[in-house]
Structure 1
């Protein structure tokens, strides 16, 4: 007996467009438009398409890369890094970008955990390349961006294969395209699996909610690593033929940002509140014409109201805020320019992270997964096409991340009657510094490797520049003088610089609960009692 499917509809194939086709489409429509600018070089869309085809041919024919293989990328922003994303996508391979500021040990872990088949590494990171080879002996190839002795030269491979055309490999909606590394409460990075179908929705959603009206006449300047949110943002630019301009230096140089905004008539940029604060407070902002800006998009952390006012007074009503984790690729809520106001009236919507993104649904839930009433605090949960496929090779993390089909953000908040969402706290001890998620457990484990440290607890405390910074409260072993340890020097090279605690405080012992546990709540209370941090104002 043949069963009739629900609704009488026979499910069809879930095949979707390969994301690399965005570049192909733009190159067809606007072949001679400038698509990418870095330092003194410019590439048209036709040239970018040709270089991506060439690298895809090299990866496929020279190194045997196939659909589903992972390629780890360790590089500062450059045209080759951006091209490698499309080359991987074109072959149905998975792009695995690392935050280039991470230590060799951190990146070596990613090489092993991702099961990477190859590594594309900037010439300035030989220690990272060697660490990856040692940790992941199954790496079949290493390609160097720039002259280096640890791999074949990227541009030489492109030159050898120019003129080759590589058709995009057929992909389905749930085929992975990007391992977006995030961290959990254990401190070990987890690979959020982003897929071709999911990312097609994300790109459409960004164009709809964050920067409507984006066309080939637009331009975007990059002030953050392409390995994470900025990479998603620039992929969006390609979809509508807007050019991307990279900073000529690895480090943020504010006058250069404003010079490029004026020179290229930049219309949008993606950043985090701490960098936006630096941009608008630098004297150079008044020396260059930034009137072309339509959307200055910030995410990653709340923005202090005074900083928001300064940005609005300096740039005009161009601010766009969004709330979203890597697992949802930024697609949870949005606060458009119209809700950013210099005046502290109802239109300003002070303290909110906005309302639900188009096509997404947010629900505030209690500990049992039930929705709570408007204004009541609970965990912010989300469903929709932007939610990732899950964590790679991590069933335990997946079980914790999803409940009844909802993705659990781990953030606490409430929703007003009119649908605006307010984040009120965090379910974990994670803190955000300069737009980067910092997980104390990872830092604590590193500090505890020091032979003269017996106990440690790292907590995030408010900071006017970075949003939050880490305080490491330590207990030295008996007979050891704390001032002799130099923990900041000892940690140098063992953790990324942005994870380094701002202060190291030594106590004779850490307060513990009745169960003998060190709790962050008790640490904070003791820091307040000792006057190390300000007491919270009464509610």
Structure 2
């Protein structure tokens, strides 16, 4: 089975001067990337890193992240990537749980990693601009790997307990990279652009690996800022871009003057990570002349599952059909298959499904019944096999015996001209069990009352779906990928 680093070596042989990476004014060719990755792989080998051993990388999105991740794959290590904002205790938990033997951390954010590594007597390599090394001989080429070898260990956010390490194999990574390359019809002439964090499955398995596998170039931005992202897409003449819903929404509200004429090469945008309101898709198309195609995947499915194809075009509200080679089922609480149109839990199967959770056989068995991934998401399939994600199973609000899907309500709220972002949650209620509540941010200068919002919503929603509780905030809490964190919304502490 090809090593995940193999495409870099292959493209460096065939097209050494082709651009691999662009970031903040720097340009790295495939020859540059291979040279640095080979040198860093040699340094890792000199540190005693061998195939199958775990290595923790904590670095922001940038060429240096790509160098170390490529080097780790090249020596056959199990790569673990973690948010640069992780605390010493969070880093320590991952080190203890994974049994990692080495930590690589970006020089500007190495304090937490250094503290956790030092407490455990583990070596720390400080990663600096251009990823220089001072030990070892450059690796001549990637080591051989088996298809079921674990290549990547990504820790879940821990919303339902302590974070679990998701084991993604060499075959998982290869399938996702190749599947998205075909779905997006990527060629070596494409210029991919993203500000997604590379430590997350979407940025790493889909964007980074998919681009390098295709031999295209990847423009990277960190941190995300809407005007800077649009300037990068314009200046680098990007043909494809990827992001999450909060990014598209922020770009729509960018204060610099951009329109479709600034992006003549841009042919499509890919969105994932959370549901994208239809109003945002329509406005983005109108302003920038670019169609946003939604997809669906989880860390446990290597970021893959379904995706709208450019050839068939998007369907409003759908995250597309199953990717070729994958399978989607909708099941009821008893695990029985449901027909098209019925809402139930989404199950995924295919070459992209994780090997399991690291050292957690019971959790693995619970989430992989009969080999299919039990996602925890509610959805339905139409007659043509297009998937519609209704909501997270745990986010479902049951008001007086009626099921209220927050995503449906949020979709309506995003249609209000004064609303920038909205999160709908359930709040305990003595009579109804739960009440529908909305937490909202408004556009600058807008004035909207809860009564006005409810009156507007009643014209568009059944009475039991209308948010009867409303709070306005300056900003909604977001995770490292830009996803709105509903679990961080404590209704009792929000301002009246």
Relative to the length of structure 2, the TM-score reads: 0.78
> Which position in structure 1 is the counterpart of 2:144?
170
> Which position in structure 2 is the counterpart of 1:208?
182
CA distance in 2, matches of 1:285, 1:406: 47
CA distance in 1, matches of 2:16, 2:309: 32
Q: Secondary structure at the match of 2:262?
A: coil
Of residues 317, 340, 357 in structure 2, which corresponds to 1:351? Answer: 317
- Count of aligned pairs between the two proteins: 423
CA distance in 1, matches of 2:379, 2:483: 30
CA contact (8 A) 2:246 2:483 kept: no
Q: Report the Cα offset of residue 309 of structure 1.
A: 0.8
CA distance in 2, matches of 1:389, 1:35: 30
Q: Report the Cα offset of residue 234 of structure 1.
A: 1.4
Q: Secondary structure at the match of 2:329?
A: strand
CA contact (8 A) 1:101 1:497 kept: no
CA spacing shift, 1:285–1:394, aligned 2, 3 Å: farther
The residue correspondences of 1:512-531 to structure 2 (distance < 5 A) are none
Q: Report the Cα offset of residue 284 of structure 1.
A: 2.7
CA contact (8 A) 2:86 2:112 kept: no
CA distance in 2, matches of 1:39, 1:422: 37
> Which position in structure 2 is the counterpart of 1:297?
270
> Which position in structure 2 is the counterpart of 1:446?
none
Consecutive unaligned residues of structure 1, counting only runs of 5 or more, are 1-15, 148-153, 341-347, 441-456, 467-490, 508-526, 533-539
Q: Secondary structure at the match of 2:356?
A: coil
CA contact (8 A) 1:69 1:116 kept: yes
Of residues 34, 56, 62 in structure 2, which corresponds to 1:49? Answer: 34
Q: Report the Cα offset of residue 191 of structure 1.
A: 1.2
Question: Deviations for 1:172-209, whole angstroms, at most 9, x for unmatched residues?
Answer: 11001111221355332211111111211111111122
> Which position in structure 2 is the counterpart of 1:361?
327
Max Rg structure: 1
Question: Deviations for 1:255-290, whole angstroms, at most 9, x for unmatched residues?
Answer: 222222222211111100110111133143526711
Consecutive unaligned residues of structure 2, counting only runs of 5 or more, are 397-405, 411-422, 426-433, 444-476
CA spacing shift, 1:80–1:237, aligned 2, 3 Å: same
Of residues 127, 148, 151 in structure 2, which corresponds to 1:145? Answer: 127
CA spacing shift, 1:130–1:498, aligned 2, 3 Å: farther
Question: Deviations for 1:382-418, whole angstroms, at most 9, x for unmatched residues?
Answer: 1111111111111121021011221101111121222
> Which position in structure 1 is the counterpart of 2:18?
33
> Which position in structure 1 is the counterpart of 2:60?
76
Q: Report the Cα offset of residue 253 of structure 1.
A: 2.5
> Which position in structure 2 is the counterpart of 1:100?
84
> Which position in structure 2 is the counterpart of 1:65?
49
Of residues 249, 260, 265 in structure 1, which corresponds to 2:237? Answer: 265
CA spacing shift, 1:172–1:205, aligned 2, 3 Å: same
Relative to the length of structure 1, the TM-score reads: 0.72
CA distance in 2, matches of 1:280, 1:114: 41
Q: Report the Cα offset of residue 291 of structure 1.
A: 1.7
Q: Report the Cα offset of residue 500 of structure 1.
A: 9.3
CA spacing shift, 1:372–1:294, aligned 2, 3 Å: same
CA spacing shift, 1:242–1:465, aligned 2, 3 Å: farther
Q: Secondary structure at the match of 2:179?
A: helix
CA spacing shift, 1:412–1:335, aligned 2, 3 Å: same
CA distance in 2, matches of 1:183, 1:299: 17
CA distance in 1, matches of 2:41, 2:374: 37
CA distance in 1, matches of 2:275, 2:240: 20
> Which position in structure 2 is the counterpart of 1:312?
285
Instruction: State whether structure 2 residue 12 is matched by structure 1 residue 22.
Output: no
Instruction: State whether structure 2 residue 357 is matched by structure 1 residue 391.
Output: yes
CA distance in 2, matches of 1:423, 1:181: 23
> Which position in structure 1 is the counterpart of 2:454?
none
CA distance in 1, matches of 2:111, 2:487: 24
Of residues 182, 196, 209 in structure 1, which corresponds to 2:170? Answer: 196
Of residues 294, 298, 303 in structure 2, which corresponds to 1:330? Answer: 303
CA spacing shift, 1:386–1:126, aligned 2, 3 Å: closer
CA distance in 1, matches of 2:315, 2:142: 45
> Which position in structure 2 is the counterpart of 1:123?
107
CA contact (8 A) 1:258 1:284 kept: no
Of residues 237, 250, 256 in structure 2, which corresponds to 1:278? Answer: 250
The residue correspondences of 1:346-495 to structure 2 (distance < 5 A) are 349-429=315-395, 463=440
> Which position in structure 2 is the counterpart of 1:476?
none
CA contact (8 A) 1:220 1:268 kept: yes
